[in-house]
Amino acid sequence: MEFKLIDIPKIEDRRGNLSVVEGDCVPFDIKRVYYLYDVPSGAFRGGHAHKKLYQFLIALSGSFDVHLKDGKEQKTITLNKPNIGLLIVPGTWREIDNFSSGAVCLVLASKNFDEDDYIRDYQDFKVYKGL
């Protein structure tokens, strides 16, 4: 399964920490930025895959679980540090749940929104992957 946890540079200071996403930190040009917040207890987000879109997820606040599937394997990653991002490559099914109170999930995306890039049914995803 292809995904990558990437350390985001952190500048520590007695006044508070600062992290910067620039240069080679994210391996694609950022075309879209959005964030998830106020997710109710027990709810989940995602439940889809993308054909061409790369995404980079960061837990700006709190924590949440990202469940990744490639059709053969599955992996759960807990994001809970604002200086670590999760790179999700095209062709990866994802679901996000277990949001802590006050959690904020920042998503940096390689493309603008395109409904045709989404695979929203898991059986269709398996067909897309040739499984």
48, 67, 81, 111: the catalytic one is 48
**Amino acid letter at 84?**
I
The verdict on whether 48 is a catalytic residue reads: yes
| Total number of residues shown for the chain | 131
Three-state DSSP class for 54?
Answer: coil
Q: 61-92 as b/e, with b when 16 or more CB fall inside 10 Å?
A: bbbbebbbbbbeeeeebebeebbbbbbbbebb
Could you give the CA distance from residue 70 to residue 45 in angstroms, rounded to a whole number?
Answer: 18
What residues are annotated to the active site? 48
